[in-house]
A and B are shown apart, each in its own frame.
Chain A
Amino acid sequence: MIAWPMSAGLALALFLLGLLGLLTRRNLIFVLMSIEIMLNATGLLFVTAGMRWGNPDGQIMLILVLNLAGAELALGLVLLLRLRGRLPTLDGDRATLLRDAP
Chain B
Amino acid sequence: MSLLFIISAVLALLTTALAITRANPVHALLYFVLSLLCMAVIFFTLGAPFAAALQVIVYAGAIMVLFLFVVMMLALDKAAMGRERDWIARPVWVPPLLLIGLLATELGRRMLPRTVPTAPISVTPQAVGVKLFTTDLAAVELASMLLLAGLIAAFHLGRRDP
Contact = CB atoms under 8 A, between A and B. Distances in A.
A77 B103 CA distance: 30
Give the interface size class of chain A: 35 or more
Among A1, A24, A32, A37, residue most surrounded by chain B Cβ atoms (within 10 Å): A24
A78 B154 contact: yes
A60 B129 CA distance: 9
B87 A26 contact: yes
B58 interface: yes
Contacts of B7: none
A32 to B, nearest CB: 7
- Kindly name the residue among A12, A53, A71 whose own CB sees the greatest number of chain B CB atoms within 10 A: A71
B28 A67 contact: no
Contacts of B59: 40, 66, 69
A81 B158 contact: yes
A56 B46 contact: no
Contacts of A74: 66, 150-151, 154
Nearest to B153: A75
A91 to B, nearest CB: 8
A90 B74 contact: yes
Contacts of B120: 1-2, 4, 51-52
A71 B20 contact: no
A97 to B, nearest CB: 14
9 contacts: A5-B112, A5-B117, A10-B12, A14-B12, A18-B16, A25-B20, A36-B63, A62-B51, A64-B143
Interface of B: 1-2, 5, 9, 12-13, 16-17, 19-20, 25, 28-29, 32, 35-36, 39, 42-43, 45-48, 50-51, 54-55, 58-59, 62-63, 66-67, 70-71, 73-74, 80, 83-84, 87, 92-93, 96-97, 99-100, 103-104, 107-108, 111-112, 115, 117-123, 127-128, 130-132, 136, 139, 142-143, 146-147, 149-151, 153-154, 157-158, 161
Given A17-B17, A19-B96, A24-B92, 6 more contacts: A1-B117, A30-B20, A37-B20, A60-B132, A62-B48, A78-B158
